[in-house]
Amino acid sequence: MAQLSDLPIRDDLRGLSPYGAPQKAVRIALNVNENSHPIPEAVARDIVESLAAAILTVNRYPDREFTELRQSLADYLNLALPAEKALDIANIWAANGSNEVLQQILQAFGGPGRSVLAFPPTYSMHHILASGTGTAWIAGERDADYELSPETVVRWIEQTNPDIVFLCSPNNPTGTAVSLETIIAAYDATDGIVVVDEAYAEFAPDDVESAVTLLDGRERLLVSRTMSKAFAFAGARVGYLAADAAVNDALRLVRLPYHLSALTQAAAVAALRHTPEMLAMVDDIRAQRDRLMVELPKLGYPVLPSAANFVLAGGFADPNATFEALLERDILVRDNGIPNHLRITAGTKAETTALLDALASL
């Protein structure tokens, strides 16, 4: 077999590493922020019935505009919005995971000669998607405790004049939320696109408002969401976007035709019919997240306030050694390369107990 470096690959891809969260068969996987709770059996049955119906017409291409799915997603987002801010199907886009949505945004608004400003530590895929689309990556700096004040964001935008700003709220891997003031300040400071990645929005405390509430009158503001986390649908690959209808027209220029399979569309629409059951575990997960925030510091591992379904814990003299020691106990957590820190997903109550017991025994 040849080496990758033997191939005539793009110069700007040479030496890069692919996304690499370890996928290991363990008893307790708390490393990629999935919802640990399987979906309820009755919901699973209904999804399978929808898939069975959809497979009968799979000889035809799927609805290229995934109309029913977009309506279902609009209805879902509108549950949390006042009537005057209600979103319309024209405001909704979807793809195979929010990663694909973000890639399409970079294809349409970034690319060679353009730049994206982001604030590490943040979701590693943002950088990888920038590389893949040839978009220059500008790494801004955060305030103390990974906070992001309006002044800091505006200063970075004024100094670097990016085409796109990525804000992740709640941020992965820190768990910290970005205030609406900061998002508004970023929007007002740029003529470019502002993307808020809200993959963990459903886990946020009740007083943390979604950037979806800011969309009205802000045609360059894009809010991405996913069914992978709160909705317990990571394996189905469904992410979506709320934005001005004109943004969807831009994304239509770069998406592959029929990018959402008929089976994906059928499964997602069926799951959204069961929103209350699908989200029933969110409160339990938030409770386990809050428990981690209380218990980890008692074990000597201070945590940042988290609005997501995971915590970033510090105080690990050798994070890799702790990672390996937990793995020996069949528990997988995440080493994001932040010195002295590990990221831990809030799992079921039993999983969280096992994690805390294991850490206490080290």
Please give the residue ranges that form the binding site for ligand PLP (CB under 6 A).
33, 97-99, 123, 168, 172, 197, 199, 226, 228-229, 234, 239
Give 100 or 358: the residue with its C-beta nearer to ligand PLP. Answer: 100
Nearer to ligand PLP, 62 or 97 (CB): 97
Q: What is the dihedral of CA 131, 135, 137, 142, to 10 degrees?
A: -110
Q: Which residue number, 226 or 248, has a Cβ lying nearer to ligand PLP?
A: 226
**360 phi and psi angles, rounded to 5 deg:** -65, -25
Peptide bond into 205 cis (omega under 30): no
Length of the chain counted residue by residue: 362
Torsion over CA: 22, 23, 24, 29 (sign)? positive
User: Three-state DSSP class for 143?
Assistant: coil
Considering the complex, what minimum distance in angstroms separates the CB of residue 223 from ligand PLP? Answer: 12
- Rounded least distance, CB 323 to ligand PLP, Å: 19
Indicate the residue whose CB is closest to ligand PLP.
Answer: 97
Whether residue 173 has a cis bond before it, omega within 30° of 0? yes
Least Å from the CB of residue 145 to ligand PLP: 19
How far apart are CB 199 and ligand PLP at their closest, in Å? 3
Q: Rounded to whole angstroms, what are the CA distances from 277 to 14, 41, 205, 272, 286?
A: 46, 10, 20, 10, 16
Compare residues 269 and 358 and give the one whose CB is closer to ligand PLP: 269
CB of 362 to ligand PLP, least distance (A): 27
The distance of closest approach from Cβ of residue 263 to ligand PLP in the complex, given in angstroms and rounded to an integer, is 17
CB atoms within 10 A of CB 58: 13
Q: Which is nearer to ligand PLP, 89 or 128 (CB)?
A: 128
**Residue 273 CB: number of other CB atoms within 10 A?**
15
Cis peptide before 22 (omega within 30 of 0): no
**Minimum gap (Å) between residue 235 Cβ and ligand PLP:** 9
Question: Which residue, among 239, 219, 209, has the nearest Cα to 81 in the 3D structure?
Answer: 209
| 8 A C-beta contact, residue 119 and residue 149 | no
C-alpha distance across the termini of the chain, in Å: 43
Give the residue with the Cβ less far from ligand PLP, 135 or 172.
172
Report, in Å, the least distance between residue 99 CB and ligand PLP.
3
DSSP per-residue letters across 62-130:
P-TT-HHHHHHHHHHHHTTS-GGG---GGGEEEESSHHHHHHHHHHHH-STT-EEEE-SS--HHHHHHH
Q: Which is nearer to ligand PLP, 39 or 358 (CB)?
A: 39
Cβ atoms of residues 218 and 192 within 8 Å: no
CB-nearer residue toward ligand PLP: 154 or 234: 234
356 token code pair: 């805390």
97 or 120, CB closer to ligand PLP?
A: 97
Check: CB of residue 40 under 8 Å from CB of residue 232: no
Nearer to ligand PLP by C-beta: 197 or 335? 197
